[in-house]
Structure 1
Amino acid sequence: MQTEKNIGEPSSKSEEASEIVLTEGERTTQGRIPAKMPTHTQAAVAQRLNDIPEHAVPGYFYAVPHHLAQKTGWRTRRHIKRRNLRQTFTAIATTERISTHTLIPLAASVLSVFLAGMLIFVTVIGFVNATQQKFGTRIVTLQDILPKDSTRIYDANGDLIYEAIDDGMQVSEPLDKISPQLIHAEISIEDQYFYKNPGYDISGIVRAAISNLSSKKVVAGGSTITQQLIKNAIVGNHTTMLRKLQEIILAPEISRYYTKDQILGMYLNTTYYGEQAYGAEAAAFKYYDLKDTPTQTGAEQLDIAQAAMLAGIPSSPIARDPFLHPKAAATRMEEVLQQMYAQGYITAQERAHAIEEAQNPGFFKPGIINNRLAPHFVNYTLRELANDLHLKVTDLSRTGTVVSTTLDLALQNRALQSAQKHIAEMSSLHHMSDAAVVVLNQHTGDILTLVGNIDPNNPRYGDFDVASQGYRQPGSSFKPYIYATAFQDGTSPGATVMDGPLTVQMCCGLPSYSPHNYDQMYHGWVTYRYALQNSFNIPAVKLLMQTGVDKALAVAQKMGITHYEGIPNYTMVLGSLSVRLIDNTAGYATFANGGIHIQPHAINTIKDQDGNIILKVAPKGVRVLSKEAAFMITDVLSDNDSRTFEFGKCSSLVLYTNTMNQCYASYPGPIRVSAAKTGTSNDFRDNWTMGYTTDYTVGVWAGNNDNSPMVNVTGVDGAGPIWHDTMMAVEQGHPIRSFPAPPQDLIKKSVAYPGKTTTDWHIK
């Protein structure tokens, strides 16, 4: 066991010596004595580490001078090189930082521009495709979709009696039928490079844009004639950039499908010249009263001054309307003339002469459309036209149809004048104010005359057409339909009937009916011939009771009474059903045509504006009454001797050539064979005279528009004179012919009937 020692005393001699050495060395080198620490402490160990010698470095060491590894100054050069390198790196970093903040936005901008360009390109392509898809079919069918001409109606002799103007007036003409002066004027002022450009003119558009910008308002359009045609016919006239782009897109397409002359022709026939005039022909008439002649159209007659004036209007039809703004129109005309001169179309002398001509007071001669020549016939024709074309009457104005009718305008005027004259004579004494007349060709169904009333311009009732729209009671003029039914069933006109008191028991709780004759007398046994010609009522009611109401009405309807008002019963033989004059006339025309009914019509042909026939009316006759019955009715109604008792030998039903007084003095002159029947409704409200010759059938109604009673006037005196004068007018120049011979199935024989023996026609 180790003995504990005092601190600071050495444990042995060696330790002491060592201690001494250390103490001396330390004292020598450091001037201080290190502290004595225990041998195994960490501090002592750390001190002893300094006593371990360094490892020897492998190799040899020569005690001689050594050469420097680097040249003198290399450190400076390295410093400079490193400095420069740092500057370069700093510049690169700065450039990179600048590039990051500049090139990326620049690239983004370039990309945005590219994308915007692509978007614009796609949008433009899409717009072009959409425009072509939307309007492509219209380009192909442009000539078909252009506004059609005004509907025009002509009489049988080719005289214009109506032109629709409520939607503007337009009459198309071939380009070679339009004045060259107007063509030159339009091209010079609207599109001087018309025959060279592809349908649009960029330089013109730029010039117009500059003019508009400098004037700060729209003073020029820059549209070519082709673009204006597209605007008017395809894309519409909205003042927008979109519409202008559509014009430019479609213009080349139009130019590929159509020749320049075709484009110019379509433009000149549809462009608006103001005053509701569309196209050159309408403008020539509207401003200068130029009409078609046998050799020239109205548009073909335009001279330089007239053409220049018209060419200046389309760019601003209201502001340059010569009637509304003559100064502006004259200024524009001079601009047109200047352009015509500058482009070599006219000489300076021609320009001066045109300006002088336009200053004359009579330069303008406005044309006037007279649609009141035969207004009731025209309205009837329009209704018929609408039915033929399957349109509404209100849609007929711009159908482009040219209608040739059956109207004889001269005869219409004579019938109207006769009616006016007679009504004027009867108005004060008999309170008669109006009349209507219808003339038919029973062999064709042609309506030659349709007078709806005698005062077409009357503001109260002038437009009302009694002939085709009024329902009036026909009185005894309805009786022949019942007689024809009975004759067809085998009754002979010579058969007798008791004309005596009669009471008819009505059905359905109605009171009994007792008819009376017009003269308030009974005539005993009479023949049906005598009863019909003298219009006895009681024999007619008895005959209807024999034939039956339904059967007789069916015959009347087939013969032409297509419309009626009222309740069919035994009173209808006396005219209780209200019918139209034109229908009643058609019924009598069926008698005149031997029992064959032909539907009355006002239209002969319908053509389009290019002259192609759309419809040619050729109605087919339908037999609705036996020829035997038709012959017997004609034979009875033409028997002047039988009706002498009631009407006298020289009534207006007899077509004598001389006057009535001369007739009664036994100088009637040549008498034209005719069949006729009168009718008078209750209280003298309606007068009728119906009749026919071998050529024509005439129906006349006379009365008052408000259906008020007349004063003591019957059909033979009220409507008869008008019928007589009209029939003589329509037959003027025609030979006098007798009615056809009786059919083979008819025989004339004597038969003993109650009351008397008669000789008359019978069916075999």
Structure 2
Amino acid sequence: MTFSSRHRWVSGGSFAALLTVFCSAVAAGPSFDAVRQAWRPSDLPVLDRHGVVLQTVRVDGRARRLAWVPLTEVSPALMAALVHGEDKRFWQHSGVDWAGLARSAWQTTLNQRTQGGSTLTMQLAGLLDADLARPSGGRTVLGKVSQMSAARELEAAWRKSEILEAYLNLVPLRGELVGVAAASQTLFGKHPSGLDAQEGALLAALVRAPNAKEERVAERACGLLRSLAGQAEVPAAQALQDERCHGLPLLAATAMARPGVKPMGEQIAPHAARWLWAQTVAASKAGPRGPMNGALPDQAVADTTVGALARAWPAHLQSTLDARLQRIALRALREQLGELQQRQVTDGAVVVLDNASGEVLAWVGSPGLMSQAPLSAAGKSSGAAPDVDAALARRQPGSTLKPFVYGLALERRLITPASLLHDAPTQLAAGAGLYLPQNYNHRYRGWVPVREALASSLNIPAVQVGAMVGPDALFERLNTAGLRISHSGGFHGYALALGSAEVSLMDLTNAYRSLAQQGRWSPWGAQPTPSHGAAQARTVFSPEVAFLLGDMLADNAARAPTFGLDSPLVTRGFAAVKTGTSKDMRDNWCVGYTQRYTVGVWVGNARGTPMQRVSGTAGAAPIWHTVVQRLHEGQPSQTPTPPAGLVQVALQQAGQARRSEWFVQGTEPENSLLSSQAVVRVGAPQRFGIKSPVPGSIYALDPDMPPDVQRIVLDGEPGEWWLNGQRLGRTTAAQPTLAWAPWPGRHHLALRAADGREIQSLRFEVRGATLKPGALPPSHQKARASG
């Protein structure tokens, strides 16, 4: 029951009834402790797993309130100016200043400027109960008496210091600002404890006229300063010449012109805070027992304006993040982006997950104001993070999907880590056209083991393996790993093996976490829960396949041909890691896991513009390396224990150092020492006439790729190749293919034997480009032979 509702039965303006209201027994109102505990700032603090404030998130757009400020942390100058200007007898009266009421009534009778008879306690009653607040048309006699009665209740139950403390926190001061903490921070950029005499007087002057012009506020503040010093009232222009008021008009103008400022305290997890608040709102709407729908223990405070705040949202937002790790990740990202500024890189994101629970330990969605991502007007004024959360934004992951391609083939026993794949120019039929995958560095290595193909991130072998398992099966398995890829496997085709679909960094990092968890996937989360995601857990791969993938991704010798022996992918302990770069260098990724953590990093540009000369180890990998090293300071990551279903065999292959290789039981070779011929070669070429292109092929040139890296591979029996009647070149057993720079138009291709006999001819078409004036015709181009 509110203060006013207890007195609403009074009617008719009867003087006897008014006396009954005022003189009735004092009812129990809300306690000071209950009001203070129910207080909610408009910017909720987001806490890490240890209770450290990471961020504040604005949840109330109607008013700006900060955390409750104890009276001991308020400037004495402000308290003195406020009491002197609003209620000089505050420390003497019992809630109602009868002398002040009489003076106000007499001035009203004489039609003079009134001083107002409401004490601070009466004003506080109006702040706590909206029904007792002063209406726009003025308060009635009955309303005034109800307010006086409520003030008596407060004075009977609260100490004077508690009344003043609550008033300082609840009083509206200017615009959206409520309470001295929000006003002090916004207008002067400081805590209320640091206000000097002039600043305190300005805030006290705002109580009576919160939205007055700065000139009027300065004049009233000057009057307060002079009155406190015992000076007589003089005209405003003369008063401002007093030394106590020097600079006051400028200070007032500067304070009133200040834009919204950053919240006080550390602000290092804005995107996680927004996600947590959205989850809290969703949970509240889902049912009556949501986090914002709980009943307050004190019903008296539940009926107040402060109680309404407590019912609207919780006191804070709890997260699983770790403030120390969040700072490490944010610092590593900003330092690396500073190094990459000359390469047109402005954005990035870092995610750290706990392997066992899936809890998010670090969530950096952008580098802050370094980012070139879109920023709202409110964000610019408050120094907030960009609107784009790169940890949740969906982008092409490039080669980071390759482990799942190989994992599916290992599971089906189509390959083993020792199987040989042919790394050479390849063309795969794709509808009426052909798909021509290329390696990142446009070099080819011939026959390579699966271990090296995956660790060195070779594209051609990955696409070959992807073709074995099929796009539909790969699409399904990637979604089992929680990547939530859209469309279908047929839509993406063979390019799905090289990351043509879009995923988020958070989902991709969690998919790698499933490999660290012996192939078991469960959802990630940033809200602490007793049994996080256990009911939703599912199997992505068997423990044996997950171990093989991790073992290959952690093999520094196998990745050395591409990345070298001393790359950022090398750590002091065990770490299985993979990089990826999307088309036209728009995205660069590095994702990997250790014994305890899975770390994902993305760098690029939120606006989608390409980077310049940023390789797999020059972009995201250094950030990943820094974070992993800090995570395992003093406690190196340990190599996982092999599952029981694996066997280890000594292996020797041509061109490879002698090594021990892991096999799923039943797939190991019979002999412990093998030659390269003893290991199955996957995709061995066979030539009968023209193998590629196939008749009727349609090639689409990619406008985003430089022309000098786009080639059509002519593959078939040894012989001479003729295009549109012009000789292109000869292929032999040692150089079995020709690479031809495609030219738009319809073409006739013929393959002739050494004696001039035509082995085969066909027609195909190239689309997707226009001819530049003066360009050379196809007959003047040279085809390049490749082995």
Answer whether contact 1:517 1:536 (CA < 8 A) is retained.
Answer: yes
1:101-142 per-residue CA deviation (whole Å, 9 max, x = no partner) reads: xxxxxxxxxxxxxxxxx994599989x99xxxxxx9999997
Distance 2:178 2:485 in 1: 41
Answer whether contact 2:459 2:498 (CA < 8 A) is retained.
Answer: yes
Distance 2:264 2:401 in 1: 33
Of the candidates 615, 619, 625, which is equivalent to residue 714 of structure 1?
A: 615
CA 1:335–1:542 in structure 2 vs 1: closer, same or farther (change >3 Å)?
same
Confirm whether residue 401 of structure 1 aligns to residue 302 of structure 2. Answer: no
| Deviation larger for 623-632 or 751-760 | 751-760
CA 1:598–1:224 in structure 2 vs 1: closer, same or farther (change >3 Å)?
farther
Deviation at 1:378, TM superposition (A): 0.3
Of the candidates 310, 316, 319, which is equivalent to residue 209 of structure 2?
A: 316
Normalised to the residue count of structure 1, the TM-score between the two structures is 0.63
User: Which is richer in helix?
Assistant: 1
2:406 is matched with which residue?
483
Of the candidates 139, 157, 165, which is equivalent to residue 259 of structure 1?
A: 157
Answer whether contact 1:545 1:570 (CA < 8 A) is retained.
Answer: yes
CA 1:267–1:253 in structure 2 vs 1: closer, same or farther (change >3 Å)?
same
**Paired residue secondary structure (2:508):** helix
Distance 1:372 1:281 in 2: 10
Confirm whether residue 377 of structure 1 aligns to residue 377 of structure 2. Answer: no
| Deviation larger for 263-272 or 160-169 | 160-169
CA 1:755–1:289 in structure 2 vs 1: closer, same or farther (change >3 Å)?
closer
Q: How does 1:182-581 map to 2 (within 5 A)?
A: 186-187=82-83, 189-191=85-87, 200-201=96-97, 203-212=99-108, 214=110, 216-217=112-113, 219-233=114-128, 234-235=130-131, 236-242=133-139, 245-253=142-150, 255-256=152-153, 259-261=157-159, 263-274=163-174, 277-283=177-183, 285-286=185-186, 291=191, 299=193, 310-319=203-212, 325-335=217-227, 369-370=261-262, 377-390=269-282, 399=313, 401-403=315-317, 406=321, 407-408=323-324, 410-427=327-344, 432-444=345-357, 445-453=359-367, 455-456=369-370, 458=372, 463-465=386-388, 467-488=390-411, 493-499=416-422, 504-506=428-430, 511-520=433-442, 523=445, 525-562=447-484, 567-581=491-505
Answer whether contact 2:371 2:386 (CA < 8 A) is retained.
Answer: yes
Deviation at 1:561, TM superposition (A): 2.0
Of the candidates 541, 556, 578, which is equivalent to residue 640 of structure 1?
A: 556
Answer whether contact 2:394 2:502 (CA < 8 A) is retained.
Answer: yes
1:272-298 per-residue CA deviation (whole Å, 9 max, x = no partner) reads: 23475422444554566655xxxxxx5
2:574 is matched with which residue?
673
1:699 is matched with which residue?
600
Distance 1:547 1:496 in 2: 15
The code of the aligned residue for 2:117 comes to: G
CA 1:599–1:469 in structure 2 vs 1: closer, same or farther (change >3 Å)?
same
1:13 is matched with which residue?
none
CA 1:259–1:139 in structure 2 vs 1: closer, same or farther (change >3 Å)?
closer
Of the candidates 168, 179, 183, which is equivalent to residue 64 of structure 2?
A: 168
Deviation at 1:426, TM superposition (A): 2.9
Distance 1:172 1:701 in 2: 39
Q: How does 1:741-756 map to 2 (within 5 A)?
A: 741-749=641-649
Distance 1:536 1:673 in 2: 22
1:570-616 per-residue CA deviation (whole Å, 9 max, x = no partner) reads: 32111010122232222223333444546444566xxxxxxxxxxx7
Deviation at 1:447, TM superposition (A): 3.7
The code of the aligned residue for 1:573 comes to: A
Deviation at 1:502, TM superposition (A): 5.6
Normalised to the residue count of structure 2, the TM-score between the two structures is 0.61
Distance 2:127 2:372 in 1: 40
**Paired residue secondary structure (1:151):** strand
Deviation at 1:201, TM superposition (A): 5.0
Answer whether contact 1:498 1:539 (CA < 8 A) is retained.
Answer: yes
Deviation at 1:460, TM superposition (A): 5.4
Deviation at 1:450, TM superposition (A): 0.9
| Deviation larger for 544-553 or 695-704 | 544-553
- Structure 2: 5+ residue stretches without partners: 1-9, 22-27, 232-241, 286-307, 376-384, 667-787
CA 1:520–1:190 in structure 2 vs 1: closer, same or farther (change >3 Å)?
closer
What is the count of residue pairs matched by the alignment?
584
Of the candidates 570, 582, 590, which is equivalent to residue 506 of structure 2?
A: 582
**Paired residue secondary structure (2:395):** coil
Distance 1:143 1:523 in 2: 71
CA 1:402–1:510 in structure 2 vs 1: closer, same or farther (change >3 Å)?
farther
Greater Cα radius of gyration, structure 1 or 2: 1
Distance 2:340 2:638 in 1: 32
Of the candidates 21, 39, 44, which is equivalent to residue 151 of structure 1?
A: 44
Deviation at 1:638, TM superposition (A): 0.5
CA 1:222–1:563 in structure 2 vs 1: closer, same or farther (change >3 Å)?
farther
Confirm whether residue 627 of structure 1 aligns to residue 539 of structure 2. Answer: no
Deviation at 1:654, TM superposition (A): 1.9
Confirm whether residue 651 of structure 1 aligns to residue 567 of structure 2. Answer: yes
1:9-32 per-residue CA deviation (whole Å, 9 max, x = no partner) reads: xxxxxxxxxxxxxxxxxxxxxxxx
The code of the aligned residue for 1:438 comes to: V
CA 1:558–1:139 in structure 2 vs 1: closer, same or farther (change >3 Å)?
farther
Q: Identity over aligned residues, as a percent?
A: 26
- Structure 1: 5+ residue stretches without partners: 1-117, 130-135, 292-297, 340-354, 605-615, 656-670
Distance 1:183 1:523 in 2: 79
Distance 1:633 1:160 in 2: 36
